[in-house]
A and B are shown apart, each in its own frame.
Chain A
Amino acid sequence: MGNNNHRLSGIKKWGFKKSPWVFHLSTGSCNNCDIEILDAVTPRFDLERFGILLVGTPRHADILLVTGVVTVQALPRLLHVYEQAAKPCMVVAIGACACSCGIFDGGYHVVGPVDKIIPVDVYIPGCPPKPEAIISGVVKALAKL
């Protein structure tokens, strides 16, 4: 899948870069990456100082953080959430499963990695990626604007 073409200018770009809101979506993960995402917003890493805020609905989100393989049951939900998110919307695939199915490759309930379903902008490998890696990934996503 090709990448999204995010061409923003002026105040829109400034707003997006200074305060990207993220929505976390677990499509079939083992909780590891989800915990590390939450870890990144707690005091030691404190993502919120960069204006990055975890929000409760995809309609408010600029960035989707997707963790885990896409399972058969989660597939329609993933598409639904992606459709709901306001565009331009960056997609960050977090963890080995979201990037390439990882150890769960070949399971009967596994559809595939996230980029088989929706376009992905940044891949963060690792099982689980450390919070530093997640922060670095989000920063790289912003640099693509």
Chain B
Amino acid sequence: MRTTIPIGPYHPLLEEPELFRVVVEGEKIVDIDWRTSWNHRSIEKLAESKTYDQVIFLVERVCGICSTSHPIAFCNAVEDLANIEIPERARYIRSIVAELERIHSHLLWFGLAGHYIGYHTVWMWAWRYRELVCNLFEQISGNRQSYAMMKIGGTRQDIKEEDYSRILKTMDELEPKVNMFIGAVLDDPVLLARLKGVGKLSKEDAIKWCTVGPVARSAGIDVDIRRDYPYAAYDRVDWKVIVQEDGDVLAMAVVRLLEILESIKIIRQCVEKMPQGPIAVEVPEIPPGEGIGVEEAPRGECFHYVRSDGTNCPARLKIRAPSYVNIPCFRSRFIGERVADIIIILASVDPCYCCTNRMMRIDDGTGERTLTEKDLLKLSWEKTERIKNKFKGCSRSKLLE
């Protein structure tokens, strides 16, 4: 017998509104469907009514967790459009901020994943060490999240020299903790039994479903925008792309944890090599044309396309957020799995639903509708009204005939 389990849109497990319909036969999952857009805020359309400088603040709010990835991708797109070369110091600052964000995002994910499989201590610990990064952000940018550091042609704020030591000190504090987490995950027999082989994504499927970021890298695809299309200062420092072969939930956890160590490495080198100089260049009038900007967000490739018509507002902004391409791979990963594993597989791609709410649904073409009590009452009243109108003006005797 088939049963449909709806998860969402307001569900205790999901902090964002999202609806998954999981079809099960007994314990086995046979199908999954996904509904979205409770969070759609019409950002692309709003961007057309804002100036380039204002759009940066708007795209920062596409997603609260990757709140520097979208501005960097947008700035890359506009700099590509207007052929702006940003100063060397701005490149290093961009790299530091982006990598700090990756650390906080991966720790956040790791904590939530621990919570989902019943390791609440992991949740509390990971979020506690994430606070170190939030404190650092508060010191260098003034805000714990939504840092407003990016600007077309450079960065809005400088990282002061007295903050260097604080950054390095935080990294020194964080590194042993991350190593501890890695040891805890790889040595725990319960975790291995729980996560290994669960929600497997084969390399072919990863390519077929166009996955990006840590999800693709955990399935053996060696892809990273930071290396393949270098922006900021990534081609000036030494680091490596983490790739795992298995494609299961464990591999995704390992990729993210090892990436934190790489990020720490990048930040240390950036702080050491940070050149002196201006942090931004004068931006000329934005000429008509098109520009593309990519950025490796914590969840994968973040893509922005900007078209300009020569005015001070973009004529079109197109955003492709990483979660939007990662979520469809659920279809190949869920089928055949058990009900108890639903939540950890959902969490394993680190989905950010705010990024993925792309449209306003007017008619989904399936003819499927959910009628609430109000709709049924309305239909009933309308029918009575129609009959009333039909008999309007008729005498009682005629009606009875």
Contact = CB atoms under 8 A, between A and B. Distances in A.
B10 A104 contact: no
Contact of A35 (B57, B65, B123): B65
Contacts, number: 124
B181 to A, nearest CB: 16
Contacts of B11: 56
A103 interface: yes
A10 interface: no
Contact of A34 (B40, B64, B123): B64
Contacts of A34: 15-16, 64
Nearest to A75: B38
A35 B128 contact: no
Contacts of B61: 30, 32, 102-104, 127
Interface in B32-79: 37-43, 45-46, 49, 57-58, 61-65, 67
Interface string A125-137: 0011010000000
Contacts of B63: 30-31
Contacts of B277: none
Interface in A42-72: 42-44, 55-57, 68-69, 71-72
| Contact count band on A | 35 or more
Interface string A73-105: 110110001000000000000000000001110
A44 B128 contact: yes
Nearest to B15: A34
Nearest to B353: A31
Contacts of B43: 104, 107
B338 to A, nearest CB: 22
B328 interface: no
A56 to B, nearest CB: 3
B378 interface: no
B38 A74 contact: yes
A72 B145 CA distance: 27
B352 interface: yes
B16 A31 contact: yes
Given A31-B354, A35-B65, A43-B127, A73 B12 contact: no
B127 A104 contact: no
Interface stretch (A1-9, A11-19, A20-28, A112-120): A20-28
A81 B389 CA distance: 37
Contacts of B361: 73
A20 to B, nearest CB: 17
Contact of B123 (A24, A42, A68): A42
A42 B15 contact: no
A109 interface: yes
Contact of A128 (B38, B58, B146): B146
Interface of A: 24-36, 38-39, 42-44, 55-57, 68-69, 71-74, 76-77, 81, 102-104, 106-110, 127-128, 130
**When A and B form their complex, which 5 residue pairs have the shortest distance between CB atoms, in order from nearest?**
A32-B64, A56-B12, A107-B42, A31-B64, A42-B127
